[in-house]
Structure 1
């Protein structure tokens, strides 16, 4: 319960805080609660429509029932409404949605609050996602940021990128496809153990994060891999364990997440002046699945939308084009065969922003991250 304080006193305290820390901003909308915007990298969980512009990609969500609850309709977000990035933007009070890089209009003044480079089907490794046709690898996403966005951003803000980039959050959500569409499909060397593959995957991601750091990034949000073995598309075709999920896939996701969390501590020392938040969306979703009623959900195992099967020319994951969607979408954990509903995304974003549990966010939450000082 908050204590009411006279408005003049609030103003005086606010001014005092600004002068003492030298971080006073002209408006909340201008800086987004301490930051200016988001640069987003990763796969379909954070893709807001880049794949719409890839003609030969099969990993698209630019059709109904995707976006059935989104104000702009089917925009390429792999869910019924907002994805985690949209919802984080709401928490951060950003003035607009983050535009996608592949849209030709994403330039000039449209990029000052960030850009989304994520591509559904992509992974940390360059060869991940080839099964889905054309996807934008994480390496290419970072090149797009470096070669195209940075010069434009410097021109727009009339300042060097290394000066302005600490005011942005760099959100990275990737890794799951490297298991689902690479390792477990036998795309990598079959003699490589899961442990060795994961170590290589983590090392590759570390190099890419270091690249962003060298370009000027200082505030990072790393999203864990979700519980892959609990997705409806997997459970339809695999031997399910006693707790309702395919443990082989979950074990791989958990192993990667353990490495990713450890990477936060390692990179903190290797990247002077940087700050990190590891968001354990694996645990957040797993907790919902284990006890859905207590979290406000009714169905934690079935897809909300009608999924296109292999026999129908689909992949058993994505919604059927123009297919049916369940009426109570907010009570479902999964919208299609893999991706969470907006209701789940809202819980992930909320916990990422303000949870005080280190099992959910480590070592702190995003709210604290955006208010921290960087060098």
Structure 2
């Protein structure tokens, strides 16, 4: 009799866990793309922002033409003329739609099943980076919002614990450039700053703590976007009109960061059992284009495609003039505005990230291989 009573008491509990596991397994099977990936959670700055700043009080908005001139839905808050790297990676992974921005009030329920984008233009690894622009989500705030808001909603939507869910998602992190341009080298951008190796170490150490936090929440597949050659962006020409081309000091700082990023990723992987970290070397990919544009199908690697707001009119050397002129052949330009690449360059980066077998472009494996692990 006691055994029967015990079984009767345990049966509802066992049934609950069985139903939860079945629901989780079914939802995985139904929602996972052919690539093996269910979706992406995205953290970072403007290069991977899909529109969060549209909903925040700051001066880093791009919700106007000519931004989005080639995007199917027009200006969306993406810092380019068309799709960014996140959109293009999603296509490569055969995800069913665009990853929605967290700050959009409609990003709820079924809309979060294939991931959420937390990136915020102007932000950085350091909490104070970009603060002069107003409210931008720092990397700390982005991860807090993932943990406190999105993750509980996702668990409720799919009926699963995060440990069962998140191994099928990519965690894409693209951040750090603003810590140099809008923090370390701000405000003068005069190249006279003495580079401190400790600054790069501080950034990568902070980033490693953020990655460990995401790992503790269930993340297992990470894609880190290295910094690209910010010394070569058109914005530098705005501040240094006599500079012939790339500003060496800026690129040196970036290379210091990228070198430490690789060694940091190798080191923390051992502290995160079962995880895999891929680094996309945007520095090399873009620098290869800049050095020989025509070989990659480009014609102009120095000027912005759009009409920038000059410093004399209160511009920052980055933003396109609202409703201003734009180049006719966007595919021929490397940069759309004073800082951000065109969709054509984003296509090039996404293709390399997904399928390159060169370890100096994607390390140690590519995103396609990561997806199948």
> Do these two structures clear the TM 0.5 threshold for a shared fold by scoring above it?
yes
The CA distance in 2 between the partners of 1:65 and 1:151, in whole Å, is: 37
Contact 1:240 1:246 in 2 (8 A): no
- Give the whole-Å Cα distance in 1 for the aligned partners of 2:193 and 2:55: 37
Distance 1:324 1:191, change over 3 A: closer
1:261 Cα deviation after fit: 1.1
Q: For 1:56-95, list aligned pairs within 5 A.
A: 57-95=58-96
2:32 to 16, 30, 33: 30
The 3-state SS of whatever aligns with 2:83 is coil
Partners of 1:238 and 1:24 in 2: CA distance: 57
* Structure 2 residue aligned with 1:278: 279
Unaligned ranges ≥5, structure 2: 1-24
Segment of structure 1 superposing worse, 201-210 or 259-268: 259-268
Equivalence for 2:55: 53
Contact conserved, 2:239 with 2:317, CA < 8 A, in 1?
no
Q: Among 199, 202, 213, which residue is 2:201 paired with?
A: 199
Equivalence map 1:96-245=2 (5 Å):
96-185=97-186, 194-238=196-240, 244-245=245-246
Q: Secondary structure at the match of 1:182?
A: helix
Distance across 1 between alignment mates of 2:103 and 2:26:
34
Structure 1 residues 235, 191: CA separation in 2 closer, same or farther (over 3 Å shift)?
closer
Q: Measure, in 1, the Cα distance between the counterparts of 2:156 and 2:291.
A: 50
Q: What residue is the counterpart of 2:268 in the other structure? A: 267
Residue 236 of structure 1: how far off its partner (Å):
3.4
Gaps of 5+ in 1: 1-22
C-alpha separation between the residues in 2 aligned to 1:237 and 1:144?
Answer: 36
SS in 2 for 1:80: coil
**Distance in 1 of aligned mates of 2:35 and 2:129:** 36
| Distance change in 2, residues 1:159/1:40 (3 Å) | same
Structure 1 residues 311 and 192, CA gap change in structure 2 (3 angstroms): closer
Alignment check: 8 A CA contact 1:332 1:341 kept: yes
The offset of 1:234, in angstroms, is 0.4
| Structure 1 residues 140-185: Cα deviation after superposition (integer angstroms, max 9, x where no partner) | 0000000000000001110001110000000000000001111112
The answer to whether structure 1 residue 368 and structure 2 residue 339 are counterparts is no
Flag the 1:314–1:287 CA change in 2: closer, same or farther, 3 A. same
Q: 2:45 aligns with which of 22, 37, 43?
A: 43
- Distance in 1, Cα, partners of 2:26 & 2:104: 34
Deviation at 1:31, TM superposition (A): 2.4
In 2, the alpha carbon distance for the partners of 1:191 and 1:207 equals 27
What secondary structure, in the 3-state scheme, does the structure 2 residue paired with 1:177 have?
A: helix
State the distance in 1 between where 2:156 and 2:136 align: 29
Q: 1:238 to 1:186 in 2, by over 3 A?
A: closer
Bigger Rg, which one: 2
**C-alpha displacement at 1:311, in angstroms?**
2.5
Q: What's the secondary structure of 2:360's corresponding residue?
A: coil
Offset at residue 268 of structure 1 (A) = 1.2
Count of aligned residue pairs for this structure pair: 346
